[in-house]
């Protein structure tokens, strides 16, 4: 489980070093240093302030007398933030037919890779999966998804390059329903001429899927690159203004020690984190667990 270890190790190195240096007794200077460290780790200002306030509150109560209590206070604060509000990481499923998962996010965020990993995970559970390639805008996107579908051993429906993405999405859902698959995953474009065009297209895809299968899509997963810092927040806001995002996937956490963006995005959108991406291989997908995440962050 190397990618996971390297992620947590990196975060741990940053936090642990600083926590032990910080913990010469909790005073104003060390709390300020902690706040800076958290902001640098992409927790965002509001969350960083709240975490520091939690450490301070416990310290005043006499509950932060050691480094381990200091870490515990931090972990509890992170876990509480991740469990606040809409935070159930379980994938929504459709008990009466195929579950439709719509996957959105900008180019390069790791959408295609995530879809490949998710397909493989469903396959491992014995589920029948169909991928729909509704990114007809970018040359190569359809082929790339087809390659992943072959690798994962799942069905594939793709239109011609330049064809209407919403009709590809419709056809994919239609084919999935007709063939009786368990899961239909629809890929979408990550860039069009303008952001407005992209959001209009996503709304149309969303609407058309619901026309073919009422209550679908059951999940709208927004894929965000965990290495782009606070830009992930503005992307999250733009996408969730266009369609009702039901879950967040944060990728490339193996490549950064700044795991705080996971907390910042959950808090900003009030949407659960459902997966984190920890590598480029088909097995490098982790279902999200707030408690594990928080503990390993400061262990
Ligand atoms: P898309 O444009 O959103 O479909 O993005 P891709 O799936 O093509 O991914 C863009 C790049 O990021 C590729 O080089 C992927 O191998 C890489 N990538 C995707 N997810 C991860 C991850 O969790 N960790 C790492 N290190 N790289 C990733």
The verdict on ipTM greater than 0.95 is: yes
**The pLDDT value given to residue 69:** 82
Q: How far is the CA of 108 from the centre of ligand 1 (A)?
A: 6
The ligand 1 atom nearest the CA atom of 107: 2
pLDDT band at residue 85 under the 50/70/90 scheme: very high
Mean pLDDT, residues 243-257 taken together? 89
Rounded distance between C-alpha atoms, residue 248 and residue 264, angstroms: 12
Q: Report whether pLDDT(283) > 90.
A: no
What distance separates the 2 farthest-apart alpha carbons in the chain?
Answer: 66
Q: How far is the CA of 114 from the centre of ligand 1 (A)?
A: 8
Q: CA-based Rg of the chain, rounded to a whole angstrom?
A: 21
The ligand 1 atom nearest the CA atom of 284: 23
pLDDT band at residue 24 under the 50/70/90 scheme: low
**The pLDDT value given to residue 22:** 52
**Ligand 1 neighbourhood includes 3 CB (under 6 angstroms):** no
How many Cα atoms occupy the beta-carbon half-sphere of 96 within 13 Å? 5
Q: Could you give the angle at the alpha carbon of 281 between the alpha carbons of 175 and 273, nearest 5°?
A: 75
The ligand 1 atom nearest the CA atom of 255: 26
pLDDT digit string, tens, across residues 32-77: 777 887 888 888 898 899 988 988 888 788 887 777 787 788 889 9
Asked if 115 contacts 223 with a C-beta cutoff of 8 angstroms, the reply is no
Per the annotation, does 36 bind a ligand? Answer: no
DSSP per residue over 241-298, as a string? HHS---EEEEE-GGG-S-TTHHHHHHHHHT--EEEEE--SSTT-EEE--HHHHHHHHH
Q: Report whether pLDDT(181) > 90.
A: yes
Asked if 191 contacts 139 with a C-beta cutoff of 8 angstroms, the reply is no
């Amino acid at each position: 489980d190397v990618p996971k270890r390297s992620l947590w190790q990196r975060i741990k190195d940053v936090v642990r070093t600083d926590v032990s240096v910080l913990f010469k007794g909790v005073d104003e200077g060390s709390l300020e240093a902690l706040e800076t460290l958290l902001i640098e780790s992409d927790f965002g200002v509001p969350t960083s302030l709240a975490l520091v306030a939690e450490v301070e509150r416990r310290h005043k109560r006499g509950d932060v007398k050691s480094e381990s209590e200091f870490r515990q206070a931090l972990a509890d604060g992170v876990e509480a933030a991740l469990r606040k509000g809409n935070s159930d990481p379980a994938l929504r499923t459709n008990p009466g037919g195929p579950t439709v998962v719509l996957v959105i996010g900008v180019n390069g965020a790791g959408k295609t890779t995530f879809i490949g990993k998710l397909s493989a995970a469903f396959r491992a559970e014995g589920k029948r999966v169909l991928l729909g390639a509704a990114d007809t805008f970018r040359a190569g996107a359809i082929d790339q998804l087809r390659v992943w579908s072959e690798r994962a051993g799942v069905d594939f429906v793709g239109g011609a390059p330049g064809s209407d993405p919403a009709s590809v999405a419709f056809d994919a859902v239609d084919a999935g329903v007709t063939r009786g698959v368990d899961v239909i995953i629809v890929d979408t474009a990550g860039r069009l001429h303008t952001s407005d065009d992209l959001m209009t297209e996503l709304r149309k895809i969303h609407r058309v899927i619901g026309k073919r299968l009422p209550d679908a899509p059951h999940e709208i997963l927004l894929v965000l690159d965990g290495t782009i810092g606070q830009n992930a927040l503005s992307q999250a806001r733009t996408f969730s203004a266009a369609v009702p995002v039901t879950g967040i996937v944060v990728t490339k956490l193996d490549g950064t020690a700044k795991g705080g963006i996971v907390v910042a995005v959950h808090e900003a959108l009030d949407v659960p984190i459902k997966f984190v991406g920890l590598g480029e291989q088909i097995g490098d997908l982790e279902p999200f667990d707030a408690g594990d995440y928080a503990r390993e962050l400061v262990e």
